[in-house]
């Protein structure tokens, strides 16, 4: 996985057909997705349940590019090896998920994956200040995690602050929640490079009719690039 700051669109399969993940992943990649974002929820850290490492492993052969696994689970550490073994390229844990995020990030890199740290809307940029040299990605949540299709919460000042804190370090800024062609320019201008989008990518399309996925991905990318 090479590093650059170009805009990357990462469709969240939370908005895909859950009975058809393999074909959905192949369809979004064929339609121009850069990464595939995989939302793992435990019904404890967030009020919703999705799936675990076995599903990630089953999806993996259907993804050619980056599998970006967003863990909305607590505790995290006991499951890291399982998600790494499932083939995750990036494993992101929440700073709010436990008292030892530093140890968690060490464990993710130790398992051979890129280490991501996610911040809920109420969590300040400074919470990752001492983690920057052990982090490959910072995920700024622009909704409270748990569900797709929620309203975008503006986190511009947090994104700008993080971009400044990061400096020249090879750390992605990922935005997750409510990203669409209207909100993409706001986060891109603030310094984000990975844009997660669930409903705004999958709306209007299906495995049988994947062309709308491509139109949606291109619209989000063009909107983000228009302000750079
Ligand atoms: C929210 C998830 C997001 C979500 C994004 O808890 O982490 O990845 O699926 O969905 P949209 O783009 O519909 O807000
Ligand atoms: Zn997510």
Atom of ligand 1 nearest to the CA of 178: 14
Mutate which of 49, 148, 213 to test ligand 1's pocket (most atoms within 8 Å of Cβ)?
Answer: 148
Q: What is the pLDDT of residue 20?
A: 98
Is any ligand 1 atom within 6 A of the Cβ of residue 127? no
Cα(103) to centroid(ligand 1), Å: 26
With beta carbons less than 8 A apart as the criterion, state whether 12 and 198 touch.
yes
Q: How far apart are CA 99 and CA 75, in angstroms?
A: 10
Ligand 1 atom having least distance to the Cα of 37 = 8
Helix (H) or strand (E) holding 180: none
* CA of 198, closest atom in ligand 1: 12
Domain 8-225: give its CATH code: 3.20.20.70
**Ligand 1: distance of its center to the CA of 146 in Å?**
8
d(CA 94, CA 223): 28
Of all ligands present, the nearest one to the C-alpha of 148 is 1
Distance CA 212, CA 113 (A): 32
Q: For the chain, what are the domain ranges?
A: 8-225
Helix (H, G, I), strand (E, B) or coil at 36: strand
Q: Please provide the size of the chain in residues.
A: 228
Q: What is the mean pLDDT of residues 121-150?
A: 98
pLDDT in tens, 101-115: 999 999 999 999 999
pLDDT category at 87 given cuts 50, 70, 90 is very high
Each residue's pLDDT tens digit, 175-201: 999 999 999 999 999 999 999 999 999
Angle, to 10 degrees, between the axis of helix 21-30 and the axis of helix 211-225?
A: 50
C-alpha 140/C-alpha 192 separation (Å) is 9
Q: For position 136, what pLDDT does the model report? A: 98
The pLDDT score that the predictor gives to residue 195 is 99
Dist. CA 199 → ligand 1 center (Å): 8
Looking at every residue in the chain, the average pLDDT score rounds to 98
């Amino acid at each position: 996985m090479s590093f650059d700051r170009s805009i990357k669109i990462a469709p969240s399969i939370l908005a895909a057909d859950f009975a058809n993940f393999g074909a959905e992943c192949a369809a979004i990649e064929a339609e121009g997705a850069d990464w595939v974002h995989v939302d793992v929820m435990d019904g404890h850290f967030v009020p919703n349940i999705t799936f675990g490492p076995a599903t990630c492993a089953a999806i993996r052969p259907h993804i050619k590019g980056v599998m970006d696994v967003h863990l909305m689970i607590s505790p995290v550490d006991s499951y890291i090896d399982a998600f790494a073994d499932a083939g995750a390229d990036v494993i992101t844990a929440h700073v709010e998920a436990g008292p030892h995020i530093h140890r968690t990030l060490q464990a993710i890199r130790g398992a051979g994956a890129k280490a991501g740290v996610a911040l809920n809307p109420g969590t300040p940029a400074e919470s990752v200040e001492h983690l920057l040299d052990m982090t490959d990605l910072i995920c700024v949540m622009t909704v409270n995690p748990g569900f797709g299709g929620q309203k975008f919460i503006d986190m511009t000042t947090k994104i700008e602050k993080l971009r400044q804190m990061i400096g020249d370090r090879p750390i992605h800024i990922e935005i997750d929640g409510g990203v669409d062609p209207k909100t993409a320019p706001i986060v891109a201008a603030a310094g984000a490079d990975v844009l997660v989008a669930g409903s705004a990518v999958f709306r209007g399309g299906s495995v049988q009719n994947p062309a709308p996925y491509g139109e949606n991905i291109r619209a989000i990318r063009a909107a983000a690039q228009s302000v750079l």
